[in-house]
Amino acid sequence: MKQYLIGIDNGGSTTKAAVFDLKGREIISAGRRIPLIEPCAGRVERDLNEVWKTNAELIKEVIHKAGIDPQEIAGLGLTGYGNGICLVDRDGNPVYNGIVSSDNRAADLCERLVENGVQDQVYHLTYQEFWPAQTAMLMVWLKENYPDILEKTDCILSIKDFIRMKLTGRRCYELTEMTCTGLMNIHTHEFDDVIFRALGLEDCRSKMPEYTGVTEISGTVTEEAAAQTGLAPGTPVAGSCYDVNACAMASGILDDDTLCMIAGTWSINEVLSKELVDGANSIAESYKPGYYIMEESSPTSAGNFEWFIEKLMEPDRKGTDKTVFYDECNKMAEEIRPEESNVVFVPYLFASATNPDAKAAFFNLESYHGREHMVRAVYEGVAFSAMLHVNRLIESGRHFSRAKLSGGITRSEVWAQIFCDMLQMPLEVSEAMEPGALGAAMCAAVAGGAYRDVDEAVEHMVHMKKTYYPDPEKGAVYEKKFETYKRALKALDFFCGGEGTVC
């Protein structure tokens, strides 16, 4: 009997399910945008019951479209955006909307805790700087603003672990995600009382779930979940890892010499490291034993492009397939050489990579500029924001000889070449259209015994599509434009500053 794997990826913008064979080839995938709930500026939530309903429907859909027997599914892996928060009661029912990783309600709180020295107290235990949608910061924010919600909470989960609970009935975490929440001691792999005391969260320590390994079977699909998803009861569900790790695994990152870039809703830039590096923005355990993963990221990526499409191209052409707009944008961006436009776009529609109060902006617009100049500026602005993160990794002592790129941006050869020319190093693009889902499926392959470890899964399941090579002349142009981009960021520092987001 032929065997298949399913990977589920609950991203910040789209939830996806995909069926793979044991060679990592995608058989079928399906995705759906779950409506965001934005009660006021800075708050980004989702109805968790709707999240589960959508996951169940997508699993059923891909099984049907693939035309496979549920008994042929050897395992299922889960991934999703890191951090955010899902709160459930003793019966597993949500007590609050799920908070998404692009939420910014705790921005002022982060600043206050940094100024008060709390980050310094715990940094060398967690190797995590505070940021607004970090699970630890959201717990503190909820305690200060909605203490009754935390009192009703029996267990605190990530988005992927919420789906695991719905599939298997088991509540558990795994190390890659828990070591980036700001709650776990990265040295001991324990929820440290010192951390919880520093954050004023002593009474929340008992709400943290138990442990499962990344490539272990964390549970099996229950009869109830099988009825809702079309899966066979007893289907193994792997521990898996959050999207930063899952996408790196799907890109085949197995050493500390390769930069991994994921350009989806978030701009995620990461590298494996054998050491804990002081001053790093975020270091967590990785999927590969003996390595940590250093991450520099912000929600300053393709979501900004989707906004451009929805607000500036779709309104007068309702019903047009989005792929038509994508093709048009690629053509417009390609027609303008980088030196021909000085329009700068700062991609801070959802959050900032620098000043927490900074917002998105176009600079240098003149009357003759059209959509083509704005599209080119969006492409470049997203890439420049990624370069800010890459430079921070370099400043922390990391060095790379090559890079790998995955995520929605890789569908655009124009955009991928812009990234390559800015980096000035060879850039490999993954064949996987759903790298997060593939990484989750790879965890399931190892958990189910198809491969002995992650290295063997990478050998058989990772396939690269194309290698881009840098143009030195364009690299020199982008180097000058990057300086202009950084001046635009400084200009925003004078303009920003606003009220808190509590509502």
- CA-nearest of 478, 323, 318 to 412 is 323
Q: Residue-wise pLDDT tens for the chain (503 aa)? A: 799 999 999 988 889 999 999 999 999 999 999 999 999 888 999 999 999 999 999 999 999 999 999 999 999 999 999 999 999 999 999 999 999 998 999 999 999 999 999 999 999 999 999 999 999 999 999 999 999 999 999 999 999 999 999 999 999 999 999 999 999 999 999 999 999 999 999 999 999 999 899 999 999 999 999 999 999 999 999 999 999 999 999 999 999 999 999 888 789 899 999 999 988 889 999 999 999 999 898 889 988 999 999 999 998 888 898 899 999 999 999 999 999 999 999 999 987 888 878 899 999 999 999 999 999 999 999 999 999 999 999 988 888 889 999 888 899 999 999 999 999 999 999 888 899 999 999 999 999 999 999 999 999 999 999 999 999 999 999 999 999 999 999 999 888 754 444 45
| 25 alpha carbon, distance to own chain's centre | 22
Rounded to a whole number of angstroms, the distance between the first and last alpha carbons of the chain is 55
Name the one residue in this structure whose structure tokens are 């929820």: 191
Per DSSP, 340 falls in state G
**What is the C-alpha to C-alpha distance for residues 56 and 226, in angstroms, rounded to an integer?**
9
**What is the C-alpha to C-alpha distance for residues 379 and 381, in angstroms, rounded to an integer?**
6
User: What's residue 289's pLDDT?
Assistant: 92
**What is the C-alpha to C-alpha distance for residues 201 and 150, in angstroms, rounded to an integer?**
10
- CA-nearest of 418, 299, 411 to 359 is 299
Q: Are 37 and 54 in contact (CB under 8 A)?
A: no
> pTM for this one?
0.89
**What is the C-alpha to C-alpha distance for residues 500 and 161, in angstroms, rounded to an integer?**
30
Q: Where are the beta strands (DSSP E) in 146-214?
A: 155-157, 172-173, 184-185, 190-191, 210-211
User: What's residue 501's pLDDT?
Assistant: 41
Helix 371-395 vs helix 413-423: angle between axes, to the nearest 10 degrees?
A: 40
User: What's residue 167's pLDDT?
Assistant: 98
**What is the C-alpha to C-alpha distance for residues 261 and 7, in angstroms, rounded to an integer?**
20
**What is the C-alpha to C-alpha distance for residues 456 and 149, in angstroms, rounded to an integer?**
44
User: What's residue 495's pLDDT?
Assistant: 80
Type of residue at 138: L
**What is the C-alpha to C-alpha distance for residues 500 and 112, in angstroms, rounded to an integer?**
12
**Cα–Cα distance list, 71 to 29, 30, 67, 140, 221 (Å):** 19, 20, 12, 44, 12
| 135 alpha carbon, distance to own chain's centre | 14
Name the one residue in this structure whose structure tokens are 């603003």: 145
Q: Are 56 and 70 in contact (CB under 8 A)?
A: no
User: What's residue 431's pLDDT?
Assistant: 87
CA torsion angle for 33, 39, 42, 46 (degrees, to 10)?
A: -30
**What is the C-alpha to C-alpha distance for residues 13 and 300, in angstroms, rounded to an integer?**
13
- CA-nearest of 238, 284, 220 to 437 is 238
User: What's residue 318's pLDDT?
Assistant: 86
